[in-house]
Amino acid sequence: MSKTKIFLVTLASFAGVAMSYADGENPDQLNALKARVAALESQMSATPAQKDAAKGAMSSLYNIDFYGYVKADAIWSGQKTDTDGAGNYVLGGTAANQELYNRNQFTMTANQTRFGFNIKGPDALDGKLTANIECDFWGKDDSTDTDTGNLRLRHAYATWKSGDWSVWAGQTWALLKGVGSVSTINFNCGIKEGELANMRLPQIGVGKAWKAGDVAINTKLSINKPTGGTTANASSGVPHIHAYIDSQFKMLTSKLTKISLSGVLGAEKEPTSTSLHKRYNVCGALAGLELPIVDWLTITGQIYYGKNLGQYGSGSGIGFASSMNTTDHKDIRELGGFGQIRLFPIDKLTINAGIGCAAPKYLDVVAAADQATTTAYRNAIIFANVNYDFTKALSAGLEYAYLKTWYRGVTEATDTTRNTSRLQAAVTFKF
C-alpha cells in the first residue's frame, strides 16, 4: 500500500470517527483507529531484513521459527570404514574378504541435511513453555546407501522454564557429555574415537541454574531410555540416570571458560536365551573443558572412564563381552578422550585440529580367530580441517583425518591393526 493511499484511508477514517464521536458514540473506536494507523506505520518503516524475517516466520496455534541447512559431502578413504558417509573406524573384515576392505572408497551424500522447528508456547504454571522438533536424513538402516536417506528424528521435546528452574520431556541431547564437541566435518564427529555419548535419548529431566559471584553454574538430572549398543538392551527393566554440572566464567579472555562433569548409572541384561541372563552395571564419568587462551585460540577436550558403555559410543561399541562369549561374562572397562585446538585467525575462517582415542581394556574384549568389526578393541583419530563462511548462509570446508583401529586375535601375536586416510569436502547452505 502506497503512502498516499494510507494517508487518504487514515484521513477518511479519522473523519468518520470524529463524526461518530460528536454524535455520542463510544470513543473506543478512536483508540482502535490509532492502533491500526500505528500498525500501518510500522509496516512502512520495516527494514528489508525485518521484512525477510517476517516472511520466514511460521505460525500455528503458537509462533514457530523454521530453521535448518542443506549440506553436501564428498568423501574419499583409502580403506573401507564402518559407514561410507560417516566413518567411525576402519573395518577389519574377515580373512576371506580382506581384499574387499583394502580398496579405496569414494562416496557423496546429502544425508546430513536437516530442518527443525522452534515452537514458542504460552505461559503456564508461572513459567514459559517452548518446544523443539528437528530431523535429518540419516534414518536409513543401511547406512552404506548414502543416496536414499530416510527421515530420522533428532529432537522432539518440550521445556517448561521458570526463573532458574527448567523441566523437559521428550528426545534431546543426553546429559552424559562435555562442554565442547569434536569439531569435525565428518558427521559422526569422534564417536568411538574418544568422544563419548554425542547422542540424543528419550528422557525426562530437570535443571537448575545458579550464580556464585561471576561464576554461572548449571546442574541437570535426567531419567533416560537405554538405547543402542546391544540387543534388547532395555531388558534390565531399569532406566539410565544421567547427571550433569558445569561452571562458566571469564578467565583469560572475554570469552567464557567452561568446565563440566557428567555421569551415568544404569544396567543391562544379557538378552540371549543360552546365557545366564546376568545383569551388568553401566556406569561412567566424563569431564570436559573449553578454554579460550586468546580471542583467536580455544582448546577443548574431554576424558572419560567407565564400564559397559557400548551404547554410548565407546571404542568397542560393545556393551558387555558376553554378547559374544557367554562363558566369560565380562564387564568391558574403558578409558578414552579427545583434545583439539580451534583457531579463528581471521573473520569467517575457522581451523580445527585434534586427536582422540577410545581404548577398552584389552583383556575385557573377547578374542577372535577371525578379525571382524565386533572384535575391535581400540580406535584412534587425528584430524584437521578448515572452514570458511562466504556469507551467513553459505560455508565450505575441507578435512583430512587419519583413522586407526586395533583388532584382538586369539593371542597377541595374531592381533592386527587397520588404518586409513580420509578426505572430506563439504558445502553448507543455512536457512
Amino acid residing at 222: S
Neighbours of 272 (CB within 10 A): 12
Give the side-chain half-sphere CA count within 13 A for 186.
36
Per-residue pLDDT of the chain (431 residues; tens, 9 = 90+): 555 555 555 555 545 544 444 445 555 666 766 667 676 666 666 665 565 555 555 667 899 999 999 999 999 999 888 777 788 888 876 555 566 667 788 999 999 999 999 999 999 999 999 999 999 998 865 545 556 778 999 999 999 999 999 999 999 999 999 998 899 999 988 888 899 878 899 999 999 999 999 999 999 999 999 865 444 455 677 899 999 999 999 999 999 999 999 999 998 876 555 555 677 889 999 999 999 999 999 999 999 999 988 888 877 665 555 444 445 667 888 999 999 999 999 999 999 999 999 988 877 776 654 444 456 778 899 999 999 999 999 999 999 999 998 887 766 666 778 899 999 999 999 99
Q: Cβ atoms within 10 A of the Cβ of 106, count?
A: 10
Dihedral angle sign, alpha carbons of residues 298, 378, 397, 391:
negative
Name the grid cell of 212: 556464585
Helix, strand, coil tally for the chain in percent (to 5): 15, 50, 35
Enter the C-alpha cell of residue 335. 578409558
Asked whether the beta carbons of 79 and 103 are under 8 A apart, the reply is yes
Q: How far is CA 163 from CA 125, 128, 166, 208, 210, in A?
A: 12, 9, 8, 9, 10
Residues 404, 91: Cα–Cα separation, whole Å = 10
C-alpha cell belonging to residue 333:
572397562
Residue with cell 522452534: 118
Strand partners, 338: 302, 356
59: cell is 505460525
- CB neighbour list of residue 96: distance below 8 Å, 6 or more residues apart: none
Say whether domain 59-430 belongs to CATH 2.40.160.10: yes
Instruction: Count other Cβ atoms within 10 Å, centred on residue 273.
Output: 6
| Residues 189/194/195/201 CA torsion (nearest 10 deg) | 110
Q: What is the pLDDT of residue 212?
A: 93
Q: What angle do CA 141, 111, 315 make, to 5 degrees?
A: 60
Tell me how far apart the alpha carbons of residues 111 and 248 are, in angstroms, rounded to a whole number.
34
pLDDT at 79: 87
Going from N- to C-terminal start, the domains of the chain cover: 1-45, 59-430
DSSP string over 290-303: EEEEETTEEEEEEE
Residue pair 292/257 in contact by the 8 Å Cβ criterion: yes
